[in-house]
Structure 1
């Protein structure tokens, strides 16, 4: 949408000068914002505001004051407000992600490039080229780690060294897929890895990267390997300033796609020094949030972030989990940044007696508990053990939940519901499924129709996009990256999918009374979409972006596409 020539700096100056209604159109890039922006009045008028309230009300105008929605209706009082003329644009609540690994994205080494929305190697080259031109200092790496899959590209393969050179000839490049590779690099990257391989081992666990002539680096494993070594070398170059920049980049991308609230699930906590045996999601779980905490103290946090505690010990004594439950607080913080609870799991599902004891300890402490399950056997194990725990401690008010659930039965869903537990359905499986795959699940329709508390998540950023719109597209079409129908009969309506990613998902953060819908008294998170979600073709759902994003009453994104 074309602007009227008033950038945000001009808008603020005009509003301060005249103290009356001042109009601005959507579309001008926004500056960085401070907590002071929360004060005052902001009005969105002449739009289609899908509130996601209980009646699915569609309003025309919204008034925000001091970070809260104070009026929603056909008209609002714009006196003294900064006014945004929506010109018929669609507005939705800020989207909510109850299962994401965005803190890991914030800690990526190099100058991370978003590739999860690209559809061909040419588009990959364009994205890398644009990242380089945006300002990558000499000697720094251009990277992209996680979020994309070769299936989404027309060529269904990784770019070659020559193709990466054509995009970025003057900076080293590394593309890294999923948890353990494989990787691809360019000429400068290959030269760096070859030089390290030719010298003394930088770490006892180091495996030579052994870059192929075409820039390919073999997939590693959870015990180490070539891709893990390449990742290790880049991590040793990373500074705290890099992490601050990465955290800001992560947040900027999130609000550009309308995602305003995250429940971060961490993954594979690894305290202590870096090692080539670590995978993409390994992080020091005592320090991984430092940059985001600093930005929050400075008033520069532009997403709501709830951070879970993941525990990966198979030791039946569970010393770390016991210390956590004794010495930490769940839901401690404020509406912008707070601790969560136990998740993505309290102990590995395969850990036998340790996993069983972990469930008991979390219930005894009265904490929220979450568990990822990958098949029907795993879901059955969780339900049966949780029933035993519930008989002893009563977990019905603790909001325990299971994630992914690719397979369900109505009996297991009923038993979960009877314990006050909930289900989060994963929309990410479309990314990795092949052209001939069928029934890769999950059973969206079966679960939603059952009546259990339910949410929809993407599980970005290691194996799937952070961007929620591809996941919503999959939920409503059942089509994978190849356009194949892989989830026949299990689709959701567009209204259902959007409700799940807004007011539905807010329940999992225990914030349904504060976020997830546009209603009087709720925190002012809203997104002006660049196209009408309810009217575009199915294929264009994945292309939806934010023209304007408001978090806590502040404009945190305006214009631009990624």
Structure 2
């Protein structure tokens, strides 16, 4: 074996030799393995960043790791030997913040697929969805998902119900922005939902009004979204959505996920999939909670939350077969920093254009734009204290720097009150799109995990042109501060937040390493050319740091590092084989990666058609192209969006099945 070049010594001879000696020492008692991978570049991502060329799997567990020769004693008559032909093998991906059920429902919906469209393109696509459904759904609700709302506003100005009312339909229509904070509805949807000029703004939300009056415009922000309630999908449709989502996850190489907003419905659905042996990723669920109205309600909230989690938690030891783990809660402290929503809680005011025009080159702070977190500090501290003492971990949505500070303050309050319980809890703060320099070192000091979505550190319509102006130049260096938090002592944990963005984990890793998108990747805003093909403010992190964020760091946050997250003897055989070596391709090509094979607990759950031939494997589930071309046709660019092109967007107008997304970014 040779030392991997260009990695600054991260992958060392010491690690390679250590693996080899360990394997040889146990070889005399070796049992024949079920599978042996040989002739590869195997990155263990263990504590010493070891690299090997061979790996053996027995009973779903890694039984040997080292040089090709070290695995010879593990090859028996029935052992399947897979020649990797020099390809890279690594631990399976761990996505610590995603929304699998909503993502699956989105796969079955009429999908705008995050494309920057104007109002005419929007209406054209929706009309295609309506026409594709025919007469049978003439009056049913139509839900449209994954709209790039900031881009729509930038291209067409204010869009409201009057635009949607031009569609040739009697159906109520609800369009969900990809940030899940804004929806657009037509007049029929407002009528059915009893939203009138007399309807007040709900707590934590806003009903936008037509200019010069109180008439609802059809734009609903944050909690205003909940005023519109299409009939929920049936259990059969939700189950189909979970299957579709798991299919996409294994195709993306995700072997463990954390559903960041979950409730009993998730447990029912995923328990069915586990019972039918269709659960192809290790599932962790964050039980969603809202703040009580006062301190008097804290104890009741803690008690009811604990009772619910105990009913659903699988307490068994992690083994080869995926299980359902319920060990944490999810709460929302604020919304988003993006303009025009600006529902995130920030330390300093947002800026507004001096002359009222977004194209103005002069913006100034506006104190009226300040938002407080959805939880008071006192109630947050008390709630987390009760949960931590009961053994429940937490993940909090914090997008603005004031919300980040509230989360850190809660951790500090617990540390100070219980100085002897340092290892008793896990607190993850999700997103941190904007954080304050005074708080970066506090993550390490308090043992709080930053769960960040790398793909947001690329230029996009969510930042250009108005969000940057709304934040002011002095805060640009505090956006997506992955490296600053890491340099201050706390490693980053990765969470895609899918379906807020397309599920493209290696594009996200590319963005982390370069702070730029990929003009050849249709999932990247850079593919639309200037101005999105530039460099995002801030500093990148290393390739290894980025990869650890989506593997072993995620495992540590989930308290599962003894079983998953790295490739070590005795750990679960959760692994993926890549088309190209992540550590060796040029930086600009990191996001053009493809997973060839995904293994979970020793089972091959996905392999491309070519990989099946090259490696001689048959995956547990057939590939999409072999069984269900209709799923491909429902989505712009195909099921995994790999075929998406700007030219093809206008031609794709296939109806996806109706669904409801329970994702919440408010109280």
TM-score between both structures, scaled by the size of structure 2: 0.61
- Structure 1 gap segments, 5+ residues each: 1-38, 160-170, 185-189, 209-216, 268-284
Q: Which of 427, 432, 443 in structure 1 is aligned with 2:454?
A: 427
Partner of 1:70: 63
In 2, Cα distance between equivalents of 1:290 and 1:243: 10
- 3-state SS, counterpart of residue 35 of structure 2: strand
1:187-226 map, 5 Å: 202-204=192-194, 218-224=218-224
1:332 equivalent in structure 2: 314
For 2:142 and 2:80, locate their aligned partners in 1 and report how far apart those are by CA, in whole Å.
Answer: 39
Residue 451 to residue 87, structure 1, CA distance change in 2 (3 Å): same
Indicate the residue corresponding to 1:360 in structure 2.
385
Confirm whether residue 89 of structure 1 aligns to residue 70 of structure 2.
no
Q: How far is the alpha carbon of 1:435 from its aligned partner?
A: 5.8
**Closer/same/farther in 2, CA of residues 204 and 286 from structure 1, 3 Å limit:** farther
What is the correspondence of 1:53-68 to structure 2 with a 5 Å cutoff? 53-68=46-61
Contact 2:411 2:427 in 1 (8 A): no
Change (3 A) 1:458 1:149: farther
Q: Indicate how the Cα distance of structure 1 residues 470 and 517 shifts in structure 2: closer, same or farther if over 3 A, else same.
A: same
- The 1:96/1:124 distance shift into structure 2, 3 A limit, reads farther
SS of the residue corresponding to residue 321 of structure 1 reads: helix
1:7 maps to none
CA gap of 1:320–1:547, structure 2 versus 1, over 3 A, is same
Distance 2:598 2:173 in 1: 31
Q: Which of the numbers 477, 487, 503 marks the counterpart of 1:466?
A: 503
Does the 8 Å CA contact 2:444/2:488 hold for their aligned counterparts?
A: no
**How far is the alpha carbon of 1:357 from its aligned partner?**
2.1
Aligned partner of 1:370 in structure 2 is 395
Contact 1:147 1:464 (C-alpha < 8 Å) held by counterparts:
no
Shift of residue 522, structure 1, vs aligned partner: 0.8
Cα distance in 1 for partners of 2:383, 2:65 equals 45
Q: Which residue of 2 aligns with 1:52?
A: 45
Which among 22, 31, 34 is matched to residue 41 of structure 1?
A: 34
Does residue 548 of structure 2 align to residue 496 of structure 1? no
Deviations 1:32-91 (A, max 9, x none): xxxxxxx97123222222221222222222221211111222223364122333222222
Cα offset for 1:119?
A: 8.6
Give the Cα–Cα distance (whole angstroms) in 2 for the partners of residues 303 and 138 of structure 1: 36
Residue 402 of structure 1 pairs with residue 429 of structure 2:
yes
Q: CA deviation at 1:400?
A: 2.5
Query: Taking structure 1 as reference, are residues 342 and 413 closer, same or farther at Cα in structure 2, changes over 3 Å only?
Result: same
The question of 1:448 aligning with 2:448 is answered no
Give me the whole-angstrom Cα distance separating, in 2, the residues matched to 1:531 and 1:137: 48
**What is the CA-CA distance between 1:346 and the residue it aligns to?**
9.1
- Give the structure 1 partner of residue 302 of structure 2: 321
- Root mean square deviation, CA, Å: 4.5
What is the match of residue 25 of structure 1?
none
Alignment of structure 1 residues 123-202 onto 2, 5 Å: 145-146=145-146, 176-177=176-177, 178-182=179-183, 202=192
Counterpart mapping for 1:239-318 below 5 A: 239-266=234-261, 285-315=263-293, 316-317=295-296, 318=298
Match of 1:549 among 585, 598, 622: 598
Instruction: Indicate the SS of the match to 2:534.
Output: coil
Distance across 2 between alignment mates of 1:502 and 1:522:
13
CA distance in 1, matches of 2:53, 2:446: 40
Higher alpha-carbon Rg: 2
TM-score, normalised with respect to structure 1: 0.71
Q: Is the 8 A contact 2:95 2:554 kept in 1?
A: yes
Aligned to 2:563: 514
Q: Does the aligned pair in 1 maintain the 2:255–2:282 contact within 8 Å?
A: yes
Q: 1:103 aligns with which of 101, 104, 110?
A: 101
C-alpha deviations, 1:487-521, integer Å up to 9, x for none?
33x20121221121111211111111111111111
| Alignment partner, residue 357 of structure 2 | none
For 1:405 and 1:355, the matched residues in 2 are separated by: 18
CA distance in 1, matches of 2:604, 2:284: 21
Partner of 2:330: 343
Q: Secondary structure of 2:103's partner?
A: helix
Preserved CA contact (<8 Å) 1:524 1:553 = yes
Give CA deviations for 1:452-474 in whole Å, capped at 9, x if unaligned.
Answer: 2432222222x333332232122
Sort the Cα spacing of 1:497 and 1:115 in 2 relative to 1 into closer, same or farther, 3 A: farther
| Distance in 2, Cα, partners of 1:400 & 1:288 | 22
Residue in 1 that maps onto 2:646:
none
SS for the counterpart of 1:471 is helix
Query: 2: CA distance between counterparts of 1:174 and 1:541?
Result: 36
Distance 1:138 1:42, change over 3 A: farther
The answer to whether the 8 Å contact 2:415/2:446 transfers is: yes
- From 479, 485, 494, the equivalent of 2:535 is 485
Question: 1:407 offset after TM fit, Å?
Answer: 4.6
When residues 503 and 151 of structure 1 are mapped into structure 2, their CA distance, relative to the original with a 3 A threshold, is: farther
2:413 to 372, 388, 405: 388
- How big is each residue's C-alpha offset from its partner over 1:108-155, in whole Å with a ceiling of 9 and x where there is no partner? 5x824777587999x999x99xx99xx999759997633967769x98
Aligned residues: 475
- 2: distance between equivalents of 1:325 and 1:172? 39
